[in-house]
Structure 1
Amino acid sequence: MTSTAEDPCVLGIDLGTTSVKVSLFHQASRSVISTVSKATKADVPSDVETGSEQLASKIFTTLQECMSELQEERCRQVKCIGITGQMHGVVMWSELKTEGWQVPSTSHLYTWQDQRCTTEFLESLPQPDSHLPLSTGHGCATLCWLHRFRPEVLDDFTCSGTIMDLLVAMMCGLETPVTSVQLAASFGYFNTKTMSWNKQNFQKIGFPIQILPDVREPGHVAGNLQYDWMGICKDTPVLAALGDVQCAVLSVASSETDAVLNMSTSGQMMFPVRPEGGVPDHPDMTSSIQYFPYFDGQFLAMAASLNGGNVLSHMVIMLQQWFKAFGFDVNEDKIWSTLLGLGSDASTGPIIVPTLFGERHLPEQKVAISGLTTSNLDLGSVFRSLCKGLVTNLCDMMPISVMESHGITTVKATGSVVDRNTIIRDEIAKHYGSFKVEFGSSCDSATGAAMFCVKHLK
């Protein structure tokens, strides 16, 4: 079917960790009309050494830049807006303006990569009334840390949520933010069975629960666009924001026997299951597999590693610093192309445990290297072993035996690291050789959010 500028379409927005992507999706043919993606470069220094913070205003400026490149006549046909993005992180705000596009005064966005909540601090908090454990980087954990150590930060704001919840509130003029159960579960201290925040736990520590958003099921219309925006008409429905991982899986998983391996900034192995398929009643901090709300009453069995492309990026930064120490300036692209062109055999290289950022179930675990010899110290051996270690780590977190027990037959490998790194693809093919491994699927959260909009409109 050939689409025209008069055909109804929907808009998917993905506010990611490093970039923003928008996707116009044709409603009738269920196909992408156009997409635009731009890096946000929103990172800012944190006053905590282990913190990870971003400027919300920079993210929204990037969104505006992306939207400006879409055809205005297409945008006028948008019938629904679906928003997704980086889970777990938290931003605070107050006093929304509803007269056109205006970003309110906000705190920094404390991202999912934030490591300020130590094991000792988390153990000092009440045990969550949830099947999901509380980890550093989770919105509620960060808010509890700020409540204890930076109470003046909380005093300046009346609302909190993910960066996507803030965008929905801005678009719809919401005094009380609304989020989906997908994002609430990623925040921590949320019970998916009762659909409620752990009020008693917050009362124990004097936490201002009124700052948290209201929670609804996926597909809930949070409100209508309060103004004409970038060609999209006023009163267009806006859905409560969704999790980027859930939307990414929705965009590529076509069968109940499909698992999705995604490796971008971080890495995930995941597949949908029914609640009766083994979703626990209580949190297990030692388990590498957690169950997040998905769609249609399902949960997403997920091993979510904190380590992926971010580890490889830090290796590139390290090499740049080494070169500078010797008086050489080597740009990032040159280092990447050289590393990817070094064809060493990982089977003879050192063994690298690549957990530079720890893992939620093993927060104290750091990088470890063993098996170094005089014959495998070359850059190619080290880089290939690091790539192998990332895939091995993810495979350890989601054992093949668990996947087989759920009837998984196909692994769809996707993500920016998989697309660009032939070494990673080789290692995925080796590790998951007992499954049908498919490359080339476009695991796209913005498209997944748009696809869910189409389903809602039906």
Structure 2
Amino acid sequence: MSFLGIDLGTGSLKVAIVDDEGREQAVASVAYSIETPHAGWAETSVQTWWRALCEAAARLPGALRREVRAIGFSGQMHGVVLIDADGQAVRPAMLWPDTRALALLDAWPEPQANPVAPGMAGPLLRWIVLNEPRTVHATRWALQPKDWLRVALGGTVLTDPSDACATALADPAGVWDTALLERLDIPRDWFAPLAPSYAAGGVLSDAAAQALGLRAGIVLAAGAADTPCAALGSGLARDGDALLTTGTGGQIVVLASDAPAAARGLHRYRAASDHWYRMAAMQNVGIALERVRGWLGYEWADAYSDAFGAASVDASGDAAGVAFAESDASATHRNGTLSFLPYLTGERTPWLNPSARGGWLGLALDHTRGTMMRAAFEGVAFSLRAGLDAIRASGASVPSLKLAGGGSVDARWRQLLADALQAELHAVDCPNAAPRGAAILGGLACGHWHADDLAALAPGATRVAGPRNDTALAERYARFLDLYGRVETWFGASDTR
């Protein structure tokens, strides 16, 4: 017996099969591009998603596919898919990087329980109501991406609280806000009924089963948004469990048994289980480092070497005992005043400023490429620390974090993160956390697992870095915060929504 998890991401679709003990058996992914028909728009045709699913499924071993007994879903948050009464998309899906609705955010009353961004379903649907009357007339349902996929596979029209609460159209628990919908002139009957992420949401149709090489009639879970699925797949199961993911952007998620208090710059959303979570969302992690690497003409290996110097594990064999032989560039930087603001695409937590921008300040003639690269790594680490500080200020202590994401594998980078965050880091032995979490939801939906089993299903995690008392680094973090405060007005006022 096995379970299939499908993660419908922004730039790729990933599938994973896990066995009846939660162990990954096979994984496959297919990448695709976001369409930008106009400046600031971000769309994808649902046919692109469907082709990616069929191609990814075909890459899984046929014998494993035939053993699948349930499917769970994980999907990119905030976007929206509009379908007609026959289940056909009436236009391309609109995605979270879309900014066409930026001018419409004033329609939301203040304060909101969560920050409102232009790429959320609410602002995007408000834009549709104002600009595409034919689309409005043709639409029967406004679905989240993973919910569209479940319906396309033969499932029930529904959504779960983890996705609903992030639309800017529901209360923090995920219940649709009828009064707000009426105020925004968005039809209430577009919105699907709610069910828990682990609830059954129909069964796989004959046509979809044939297309994917699966058995018809297997259970389809309601599914959850990608961040709570990744938290579930990474083993977050108890109050206070925390996860740091570093990819294009960065997220810090802390699980909570009860609804956290509202805090400026933080999101408080429903988890894939019956928990809640606090989330700090930082937009500029991998995307900023990749751009700096390109500007400076580095290959990644040389970027790490010039920024950090050589690294080795100490004689005790402790993976957290990393020693550094600093390069001249790194040593020069440690004694200098060079700072880097990484906000190349604006920032969410903690500043809520889509107009924020980045750059270096403090350059001197003796600085090198390595100095600038080191400053970029520190600036990104400091931006993550600013997000974590917001979470700590909201009442969560967070002495340690599980660590996931493709951008967090270098030992020197991990040590800098631990020092900057002042937290232990434990690398999760689960490279595909979101589809694994989705597969676990499938197992819950068909009754193979129960809520009490989640802690036991947590993957292994290895301590890879512990915080050191680096006074100079702490001083540079204080300078980083001061620098942002001084230049914020250059870029435009932050959003206090």
Q: Quickly name the TM-score band, shorter chain normalised.
A: 0.7 to 0.9
Could you tell me which residue of structure 1 aligns to residue 362 of structure 2?
A: 371
Q: Does the CA contact (< 8 Å) of 2:381 and 2:421 recur in 1?
A: no
Number of aligned residue pairs: 415
1:245-291 superposed Cα distances (whole Å, 9 cap, x missing partner): 11111122355453211011210111101226x333xxx6xx12221
Q: Choose from 340, 350, 370 the match for 2:338.
A: 350
- Structure 2 residue 286 is the aligned partner of structure 1 residue 312: no
Could you tell me which residue of structure 2 aligns to residue 204 of structure 1?
A: 183
Q: Find the residue that maps to 1:44 and give its secondary structure.
A: coil
Could you tell me which residue of structure 1 aligns to residue 436 of structure 2?
A: 447
Q: Does the CA contact (< 8 Å) of 1:349 and 1:385 recur in 2?
A: no
Q: Does the CA contact (< 8 Å) of 2:44 and 2:92 recur in 1?
A: yes
Q: Choose from 102, 112, 117 the match for 2:96.
A: 112
- Structure 2 residue 214 is the aligned partner of structure 1 residue 239: no
Q: 1:338 to 1:64 in 2, by over 3 A?
A: farther
Q: Does the CA contact (< 8 Å) of 2:28 and 2:60 recur in 1?
A: yes
**1:369-448, aligned counterparts within 5 Å?**
369-376=360-367, 378-399=368-389, 402=392, 405-419=395-409, 421=410, 424-433=413-422, 435-442=423-430, 444-448=433-437
Could you tell me which residue of structure 2 aligns to residue 297 of structure 1?
A: 274
Unaligned runs of at least 5 residues, structure 2: 308-328, 450-497
- Which sits farther off after the overlay, 344-353 or 444-453? 344-353
- Structure 2 residue 35 is the aligned partner of structure 1 residue 44: yes
- Which sits farther off after the overlay, 264-273 or 201-210? 201-210
Q: Does the CA contact (< 8 Å) of 2:83 and 2:139 recur in 1?
A: yes
1:406-430 superposed Cα distances (whole Å, 9 cap, x missing partner): 35332112101113x5553232122
Q: Find the residue that maps to 2:205 and give its secondary structure.
A: coil
- Structure 2 residue 238 is the aligned partner of structure 1 residue 274: no
1:93-143 superposed Cα distances (whole Å, 9 cap, x missing partner): 22546xxxxxx445222221222332x5211x1327963232221111111
Unaligned runs of at least 5 residues, structure 1: 1-7, 98-103, 321-333
Could you tell me which residue of structure 2 aligns to residue 19 of structure 1?
A: 12
Q: Find the residue that maps to 1:25 and give its secondary structure.
A: strand
For 1:253 and 1:416, locate their aligned partners in 2 and report how far apart those are by CA, in whole Å: 18
Q: Choose from 239, 244, 247 the match for 1:261.
A: 244
Could you tell me which residue of structure 1 aligns to residue 495 of structure 2?
A: none
Q: Find the residue that maps to 2:153 and give its secondary structure.
A: helix
Could you tell me which residue of structure 2 aligns to residue 178 of structure 1?
A: 158
Q: 1:79 to 1:386 in 2, by over 3 A?
A: same
The one-letter amino acid paired with 1:372 is L
TM value normalised by structure 1: 0.82
Q: Does the CA contact (< 8 Å) of 1:139 and 1:187 recur in 2?
A: yes
For 2:151 and 2:391, locate their aligned partners in 1 and report how far apart those are by CA, in whole Å: 43
Q: 1:368 to 1:117 in 2, by over 3 A?
A: farther
1:184-210 superposed Cα distances (whole Å, 9 cap, x missing partner): 1111110244x5322222222322232
Could you tell me which residue of structure 2 aligns to residue 323 of structure 1?
A: none
- Structure 2 residue 13 is the aligned partner of structure 1 residue 33: no
The Cα RMSD (Å) is: 2.7
The one-letter amino acid paired with 1:31 is R
Q: 1:173 to 1:432 in 2, by over 3 A?
A: closer
For 1:140 and 1:387, locate their aligned partners in 2 and report how far apart those are by CA, in whole Å: 35
- Structure 2 residue 194 is the aligned partner of structure 1 residue 215: yes
**1:92-171, aligned counterparts within 5 Å?**
92-94=82-84, 96=86, 104-118=88-102, 120-123=103-106, 125-127=107-109, 131-171=113-153
Q: Choose from 29, 34, 59 the match for 1:69.
A: 59
Q: 1:350 to 1:442 in 2, by over 3 A?
A: farther
Q: 1:224 to 1:35 in 2, by over 3 A?
A: same
CA shift, 1:303, in A, is 0.3
Q: Does the CA contact (< 8 Å) of 1:81 and 1:239 recur in 2?
A: yes
- Structure 2 residue 70 is the aligned partner of structure 1 residue 80: yes
- Structure 2 residue 75 is the aligned partner of structure 1 residue 91: no
Q: Find the residue that maps to 2:378 and give its secondary structure.
A: helix
The one-letter amino acid paired with 1:142 is L
Q: Does the CA contact (< 8 Å) of 1:122 and 1:134 recur in 2?
A: yes
Q: 1:239 to 1:404 in 2, by over 3 A?
A: same
Amino-acid identity (%): 20
Could you tell me which residue of structure 2 aligns to residue 191 of structure 1?
A: 171
Q: Does the CA contact (< 8 Å) of 1:273 and 1:298 recur in 2?
A: yes
CA shift, 1:173, in A, is 5.3
For 1:439 and 1:372, locate their aligned partners in 2 and report how far apart those are by CA, in whole Å: 35
For 1:219 and 1:190, locate their aligned partners in 2 and report how far apart those are by CA, in whole Å: 20
The one-letter amino acid paired with 2:158 is V
Q: Does the CA contact (< 8 Å) of 2:266 and 2:390 recur in 1?
A: no
Could you tell me which residue of structure 2 aligns to residue 330 of structure 1?
A: none
Could you tell me which residue of structure 2 aligns to residue 5 of structure 1?
A: none
Could you tell me which residue of structure 1 aligns to residue 2 of structure 2?
A: 9
- Which sits farther off after the overlay, 258-267 or 424-433? 424-433
The one-letter amino acid paired with 2:343 is T
Q: 1:221 to 1:455 in 2, by over 3 A?
A: closer
Q: Does the CA contact (< 8 Å) of 2:204 and 2:219 recur in 1?
A: yes
1:297-335 superposed Cα distances (whole Å, 9 cap, x missing partner): 321111011222223344456678xxxxxxxxxxxxx74
Q: 1:157 to 1:337 in 2, by over 3 A?
A: farther
1:382-402 superposed Cα distances (whole Å, 9 cap, x missing partner): 233222212211210221881
Could you tell me which residue of structure 2 aligns to residue 327 of structure 1?
A: none
CA shift, 1:403, in A, is 7.7
